[in-house]
Structure 1
Amino acid sequence: MNPNIDQRLIAWPQTEQMQVPYQVFTDPRIFDGEQERIFRGPHWSFLGLEAEIPEPKDYKATYLGDTPVVVTRDRSGQICAWVNRCAHRGAMVCRDRRGKADAFTCVYHQWAYDAQGNLTGVPFRRGVSGQGGMPASFDMKAHRLPPLRVATYRGLIFASFAAEGEVESLEAYLGSDVCAMLDRIFGRPIELLGDERQVMHGNWKLYSENTRDAYHGSLLHLFHATFGLYRSTQQGSCRMDAQGRHSLLTATKTETKDQSATGGLRTYQEGQYALEDPSLLAGKPDFSDGTSLVILAIFPNLVVHQIANSLAVRHIQPRSVKEMELVWTYFGYADDSPEARSSRLKQMNLVGPGGLISMEDGEAVELVQQAIVRDGDATSYIAMGGRKGEPQENLVNEAPIISFWEYYRRVMKFASSTP
């Protein structure tokens, strides 16, 4: 991979409205550059929840960008993370997604490592009967698994390839608005409820756009608007951090009845449908602030949601320029009543790969990827709410998407051009 990606590789139009070249979704050279400048660059990437590895010796294998990594707790309970690549011949060391172990052995030649990634064993290191073996200069300490810097906030585990001083502290990276929302959602001990995995045949940034897009919520998702979980006429806001990389979309149950704005839309046909089992949406609010929906997108690879009583983190894992995997991890609170837990389990059906709401997002991502495959020189047109990516007190804008692309272009160092 080349960290010095050619700035002239792409000509980003400098126009009154945001126009994104479709080449960013189809060019493998750009994908490789993203791995270096974003996922291996000065950013904090999500790896998992502390609740997934609650005890010493627990581990979880996952990905940071397209790099396989393992996050563990060592014998003392300290959280560690390292690249899942043997120091000998490059094979993946840990092949299980999760488990409990204080030693990790590569199946190829049985080089062994501890939970911190230190090399602890090399078979036939001293040869056999005085023949073969490693040279006398071989230093076990010099052949550990590549470590990552790790930091946590409210039970969420983040890691970075950047050395100390190359990226700000995790709390500074997240910013005050993001931290406040994480304080709100993770302010009580959580209980894991399960997880799902979803492969999308589309570029990871298409999903990043989707989770910053308040505009589509009541148009693409029939269930959202039909049963009042989310409508563009509700009170809500779209906020970004100072860098424009993270976004926070919120909505309340308060709604402005404006038939002139919604008449004729297929997703605003009140009274046409009813739930056969109304208990699906009968849960009691978890929070007293009236906020019924939260979509928190943390650059580059995390989404945290609250949709009614459904709580989850979504881990974006790029696989190639045209494929990604999304890992949904659902949770409730450790002190949930049986009724609250039952409600959360039911509402897991709203989201995920086959969710009553979220199913359409994967389809939308793939529809775009299929349509742009030969049109890298063409561009999108992103203009709802105006050109500037500024905070909005409404749900009919694309400000967070504009901010995302402005930040992305700066990080990737793509030059602007006049069409």
Structure 2
Amino acid sequence: MNAAEPMSHMAQAPSSTRRWPAAGYTSAPYWVFTDPEIYAREQARIFRGPAWHYLGLEAEVPDPGCYKTTYIGESSVLLTRANDGSLHAMLNRCAHRGNMICREPFGTANKLYCVYHAWSYTLEGDLSRVAFQRGLHGEGGLPRDFDPAHHGLRKLRVDTLCGLVFATFSDEVEPLEQWLGEIAHGIRRVLRRPLKVLGYDTQRIHANWKAYHENPRDSYHANILHTFYGTFGLSRQSQESAMVLDGSGRHVYFYTKAGTEKNGDDYKETASALRSHNDSLRLEDPGILKWHDEFGDGISVQILTAYPTFVLHQIANNLATRQLLPKGPGQADLVWTYFGFADDDEEMTRVRLAQTNLAGSAGMISVEDAAVCEMMRRAMGDGQEGESFIEMGGRDLESGGTTKLSERAIRNFWHNYRVDMEL
């Protein structure tokens, strides 16, 4: 036994002996957030399974020869643009001895080259050259029947929608837009024109990836946890809003329209006791609250989440994707990519960048989400005892309807998760 091993891991019962609570998807056991065996199973069944995973924006690999490195679960992945302009995704792992090929987040290359033994690949992932393939002086080299066509990089399926690039290990999963279902409308609503990248922010969250995945699906928490939303009126439960799930329940988006308050007595009674409504707070520069209804529908906030690890947000005029990357049972990286439209003028770009202060790892809104996830991890401890209660808005997958005052999207997440994991 390793003396440095955490007691919580040593004390855990094997996953094979675990049973999901009888309440089903209205309850999630805390061991599902802490068990290393569950985490390993997720890599096979979800991240390498029949699901689409966000890799980035087409705008991040704009020209032939451009590449981006990222991850799907724990798997290192390359996104490339080939000489004919086509997009390709493949494992960032040499077919020879498993070495990482590209180390930088972004770059340009006319070939993919492994520094370990000089195996070279095309931008499509095909093996093009092996150093000393025929040996020297009649000795060494690879067998005469070695066929480079059988030793390329592990290729993934790629599909795009409105400038977003997704990939999957699966040959069976339906095309991307069909997989996304009804939430494709929420993507098309925002991503109307060619995109340009404005910047990045990456944070390490010391919590299980599912704790964060629940968060942007949880329309119910937004006006309770986030003081900025409630106090300054960018998003309140009293405003016109709705939640939209796709037919499978995997994906969801919700929206709010600022300035459409319906402050009945039931709302006033609750709001008066919420810490998130604080009329004593003021902004030294209220300019950050000024936003332009660029889509013409009055929506001030839209948060869209695609199972298992993608988020697209519009918070006023700030636009960003969030990519959730698991890094073990107890931590995950969250990569924020801020963008605008290629034809934005300087004033709109300034507005988008200023409103970046609302989001990201230190954002006046988003900082609280990561903090709560880390607080949950500390409170759950080793996960051996306890489970969540997920009945706001009802007890089944349909109850709660389209109201934001519901945990319907959370119940649907756990339903799909259990199906994928066979738990």
- What range describes the TM-score normalised by the shorter chain of this pair? over 0.9
Distance 1:187 1:72, change over 3 A: same
2:354 aligns to what SS in structure 1?
Answer: helix
Instruction: Say if 2:107 is the partner of 1:102.
Output: no
> 2:229 corresponds to which residue?
224
Structure 2 stretches of 5 or more lacking a match? 1-13
Greater mean deviation of Cα atoms: 125-134 or 404-413? 125-134
The one-letter amino acid of 2:364's match is L
| One-letter amino acid of the structure 1 residue matched with residue 304 of structure 2 | L
Aligned to 2:247: 242
Task: Give the AA of the match of 1:228.
Answer: G
For 1:76, what is the secondary structure of its paired residue? coil
Residue 182 of structure 1, CA deviation: 1.1
- CA shift, 1:375, in A, is 2.8
Match of 2:337 in 1: 329
C-alpha distance in 1 between matches for 2:372 and 2:241: 23
Partner of 1:417: none
Provide the residue aligned with 2:168 in structure 1: 160
Q: Does residue 135 of the first structure (1) align with residue 140 of the second (2)?
A: no
Q: Deviations over 1:127-176 (max 9, x none)?
A: 1222211121221111100000111111111111111xx1111111010x
Q: Residue by residue, what CA displacement relative to the aligned partner does 1:195-222 show, whole Å, maximum 9, x if unpaired? A: 1111111111111100111121122111
Query: Which of residues 213, 217, 223 is equivalent to 1:212?
Result: 217
1:192 maps to 2:197: yes
Aligned to 2:179: 173
Partners of 1:60 and 1:71 within 8 A in 2 = yes
Amino acid at match of 2:418: R
How far apart, CA to CA, are the structure 1 residues paired with 2:233 and 2:76? 40
Letter in 1 for 2:161: Y
C-alpha separation in 2, matches of 1:64 and 1:233? 38
Of 32, 40, 53, which residue of structure 2 is paired with 1:24?
Answer: 32
1:10: how far off?
3.0
Q: Aligned ranges for residues 340-379 of structure 1 at < 5 Å?
A: 340-379=348-387
Matched, 1:120 2:128: yes
Cα deviations across residues 71-130 of structure 1 (Å, max 9, x unaligned)?
A: 101110110010011111111111111111121111211211111111112111111222
Aligned equivalent of 1:260: 269
- Aligned-partner residue type, residue 397 of structure 1: S
Counterparts of 1:47 and 1:376, CA distance in 2: 34
Of stretches 70-79 and 250-259 in structure 1, the one that deviates more from structure 2 is 250-259
Distance 1:334 1:382 in 2: 42
SS of the residue 1:322 aligns to:
coil
Tell me the TM-score normalised to structure 2 length.
0.93
Q: Distance in 2 between matches of 1:131 and 1:8?
A: 51
Q: How far apart in 2 are the matches of 1:335 and 1:17?
A: 45
Change in 2 beyond 3 A, CA 1:372/1:236: same
Aligned mates of 1:105, 1:191 — CA distance in 2: 29
SS of the residue corresponding to residue 42 of structure 1 reads: coil
User: 1:66 pairs with 62, 74, 81, which one?
Assistant: 74
8 Å CA contact 1:235, 1:395 repeated in 2 = no
Residue 399 of structure 1: aligned partner: 408
Kept in 2: contact 1:111–1:119 (CA 8 A): yes
Question: C-alpha root-mean-square deviation of aligned residues, in Å?
Answer: 1.5
Partner of 1:3: none
Distance 1:339 1:386 in 2: 45
C-alpha separation between the residues in 1 aligned to 2:134 and 2:249? 55
CA contact (8 A) 2:397 2:411 kept: yes
Report SS of the residue matched to 1:291: coil
2:91 alignment partner in structure 1 = 83
Decide whether the 8 Å contact of 2:25 with 2:414 is kept in 1.
Answer: no
Contact 2:256 2:299 in 1 (8 A): yes
* 2:416 aligned counterpart, secondary structure: helix
SS for the counterpart of 2:300 is strand
2:238 is aligned to: 233
Q: Which residue of 1 aligns with 2:422?
A: 413
Which moves more between the two structures, 373-382 or 340-349? 373-382
For residues 263-295 of structure 1, give each alpha carbon's deviation from its aligned partner in whole angstroms, at most 9, with x where no partner exists: 12111122x122111111212121211111111
1:280 to 253, 277, 288: 288
Contact 1:25 1:321 in 2 (8 A): yes
| CA distance in structure 2 between the aligned counterparts of 1:325 and 1:21, rounded to whole angstroms | 23
Q: Which amino acid is 1:119 matched to?
A: L
The range that moved more, 388-397 or 182-191, is 388-397
* 1:196 partner amino acid: D
SS in 2 for 1:132: coil
Contact 1:52 1:60 in 2 (8 A): yes
Contact 2:31 2:382 in 1 (8 A): no
Shift of 1:9: 4.5
Aligned length: 405
Q: Which has the higher contact order (CA 8 A, sep 6+)?
A: 1
5+ residue gaps, structure 1, are 1-5, 415-419
Mapped partners of 1:36, 1:363: distance in 2: 29
Secondary structure class of the residue paired with 2:312 = strand
Match of 2:7 in 1: none
How far, CA to CA, are the matches of 1:192 and 1:19 in structure 2? 39
* SS class of match (2:302): strand
